[in-house]
Amino acid sequence: MKLMYIIVRQDNESDVVNALIAEDFRITKLATSGGFLRKGNTTLFSCVEDNQVDKAIEIIKNECGQSQKIQVEMPINLPSTAINYTTIPTTIEVGGATIIVTDVARFERF
């Protein structure tokens, strides 16, 4: 048995959840936010049999797609000037999903 931690953008959450549920995966959902862009995302938890991990990952890939590079303006501090901050253009990756799979020592469902 494996525990999957699945972190997806809020935009993809309902598609991922619906696709996993349609394939009989059970999901627990937590609303979370990312540390870098502070954008909303969702962390999903699912306990799956070892032989179901690849199937779940394939479903998530199909719903989330690949990450994309975007341009953002990142704030930086300039303490030596009268202006407290400015921004610089930066390229970052967004989208896709982050998946962590761990072993489960014990699992019970009531």
* 43 touches 87 (CB < 8 A): no
DSSP notation for 2-47:
EEEEEEEEHHHHHHHHHHHHHTT---EEEEEE-SSS--EEEEEEEE
Specify the pTM. Answer: 0.71
Q: What percent of the chain has pLDDT over 70?
A: 67
**Mean pLDDT along residues 76-98:** 65
One-letter-per-residue 3-state SS of 64-80? HCCCEEEEEEEEEECCC
Out of 34-38, 100-104, 106-110, which region has the weakest mean confidence (pLDDT)?
A: 34-38
Query: Domains, the chain, ranges and CATH?
Result: 2-67+94-103 (3.30.70.120)
Mean pLDDT of the chain: 82
Tokens read off for 64? 């989330």
Question: For residue range 6-31, what is the model confidence (pLDDT) as tens digits?
Answer: 998 888 899 999 999 999 999 999 87
